[in-house]
Amino acid sequence: MTESPGEPPTQSSTETAAPAVLTELRGHVLVVTLNRPDARNAVNAELTQGLGDALERADRDTDIRVVVLTGAGDKSFCAGADLKAISRGEALSPPGTEEWGFAGFVNHPISKPVIAAVNATALGGGTELVLASDLAVAAESAKFGLPEVRRGLIAAAGGLIRLPVQLPRKVAMQMIVTGEPIDADTALRWGLVNEVVPDGQVLDAALDLAQVIAANAPLAVQASKRVASGRYAGADGDLPPELPHERDAWRANDDEIIALMSTEDAIEGPTAFAEKREPVWRAK
């Protein structure tokens, strides 16, 4: 879930004043935009709250049939967790949103199909948002990867659990342990995304796909998603926790990240990123 390597994002006064998440209803499609372009749409507490609230709205509103998730700007879909916020000791999940998982999204199942419109680079948590989506359309310049090991962390927002399921295991393992990204065409070849389109056309392509879905019987689509994803609505309409075969994996995932976050290396990674230097690993 970590932010991608490179120059750390800076936050402008304009971005500070703007909502971290924008929503727009286009017919029966709710377009949700991660709106921290100056921070490469990295996830902080405000973004988590906004994205989680947007999913709640989509699930409650019978007029909304599909959700399209994209990022503002042309540099990043989502760079993952805001490492500068982490280095300041800030929580990424506001109180009451913890059950939704990273970005208010990765453990927040809804009955409406969600399409990731990957407008640019999606590294760390950005890839984990794609893995948690039902479908994905990518711009040709998009890249996907889990660089957490380069920052002394692990891809604890579902990357280690879902990537080996959605991609061939050895392809997934190479991405996980090297931290190296793949391009959009490679993502398409391995089935991580449904379609690759020219830069600047990804939202239109995702909306076209959303319209095809929205033209179908909404209750049938929602029931189909619940069955296909292994999540069944109870009598009260609530969706149960993760798939049974994921529960043990999530438990192990949580145990590992809790243990890792108490190490010196886990502190060194975000600190080195914020200080614009290479990390010095001590394996302790």
Q: So which residues are the catalytic ones? A: 128, 148
Residue 57 corresponds to which amino acid? Answer: R
Residues 208, 180: Cα–Cα separation, whole Å: 31
Give every strand in the sheet of 143-145, ordered side by side.
76-78, 121-123, 143-145, 182-183
Beta bridge partners of 137: 117, 195
In 10 A of CB 62, how many CB atoms? 9
Q: What share of the chain is helix, strand, coil (3-state, %, to 5)?
A: 45, 15, 40
Q: Could you tell me which residues are beta bridge partners of residue 196?
A: 138
The CA angle 273-276-279, to the nearest 5 degrees, is: 55
Residue 224: Cβ-neighbour burial (10 angstroms; 0-12, 13-18, 19+): middle
